[in-house]
């Protein structure tokens, strides 16, 4: 029994959500309503170690949902393997709001990257078709607006014709995507 408790204690220390120290700068940034950063440079002026701090907040199950969702949204400023792995992990969450935010941020990362990413486009489209939550599926459809890969438009067209519950949203997203790409 003592060994079990010792192992449990050691595991709890290794858990990122339990081991992460409070970060007042990060929390103040995520809690603010006005003056939010609109790009990576502005974010890093306020929080120099932003990506690491955002990943901690996004994955911290003890943090407020507001902070987690804001952190997930800001992660779209970092279109790299670390962020993609974090978002992929968050897509496995049992919390619907976390999955919805993660899939939308995943779509946004491809827009920030500007070169597109076929794998990410397919992943977002698959979530739009298969996630058990209607809210997550709708966020995935909206995320396809930001994916510049031609496959995103093809998948949206398919959703508009094969998924009646998503058809109006898919059609609206196609129109918004076309306007964005025409600029």
Q: Which residue has the higher pLDDT, 3 or 128?
A: 128
- For residue 18, what are the CA distances in angstroms to 58, 59, 61, 151? 13, 11, 9, 40
Alpha-carbon distance 160 to 95, whole Å?
27
Q: How confident is the model at residue 112 (pLDDT cuts 50, 70, 90)?
A: low
Cite the DSSP H helix spans in 15-133. Answer: 16-19, 24-31, 40-46, 50-59, 65-74, 81-90, 96-113, 118-130
Question: What is the separation, in whole angstroms, between the first and last Cα of the chain?
Answer: 66
93 φψ region: left (φ > 0), alpha (ψ -120 to 50), beta (else): beta
Alpha-carbon distance 104 to 88, whole Å?
12
Alpha-carbon distance 62 to 12, whole Å?
13
Residue 151: pLDDT over 50: yes
Residue 13: pLDDT over 80: no
Q: Supply the mean pLDDT for the chain.
A: 86
Would you state the pLDDT for residue 20? Answer: 57
Residue 30: pLDDT over 70: yes
Would you state the pLDDT for residue 7? Answer: 33
Cα 22 to chain centroid distance, Å, stands at 22
Would you state the pLDDT for residue 110? Answer: 73
The share of the chain scoring above pLDDT 70, in percent, equals 85
Q: Which of 67, 50, 68, 62 is nearest to 20 (CA)?
A: 62
Q: How confident is the model at residue 177 (pLDDT cuts 50, 70, 90)?
A: very high
Residue 19: pLDDT over 80: no
Residue 85: pLDDT over 80: yes
Q: Which two tokens stand for residue 172?
A: 């609206």
Alpha-carbon distance 142 to 177, whole Å?
9
């Amino acid at each position: 029994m003592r060994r079990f408790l010792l192992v449990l204690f050691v595991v709890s220390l290794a858990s990122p959500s339990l081991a992460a120290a409070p970060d007042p700068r990060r929390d103040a940034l995520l809690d603010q309503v006005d003056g939010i950063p609109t790009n990576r440079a502005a974010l890093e002026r306020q929080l120099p170690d932003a990506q690491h701090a955002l990943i901690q907040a996004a994955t911290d199950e003890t943090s407020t949902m507001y902070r987690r969702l804001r952190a997930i949204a800001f992660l779209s400023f970092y279109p790299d393997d670390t962020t993609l792995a974090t978002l992929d992990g968050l897509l496995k969450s049992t919390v619907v709001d976390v999955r919805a935010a993660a899939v939308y941020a995943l779509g946004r990362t491809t827009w920030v990257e500007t070169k597109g990413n076929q794998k990410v486009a397919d992943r977002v489209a698959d979530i739009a078709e298969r996630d058990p939550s209607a809210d997550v599926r709708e966020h995935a459809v909206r995320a396809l607006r930001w994916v510049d890969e031609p496959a995103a438009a093809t998948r949206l067209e398919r959703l508009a014709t094969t998924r009646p519950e998503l058809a109006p949203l898919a059609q609206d997203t196609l129109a918004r995507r076309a306007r964005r790409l025409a600029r």
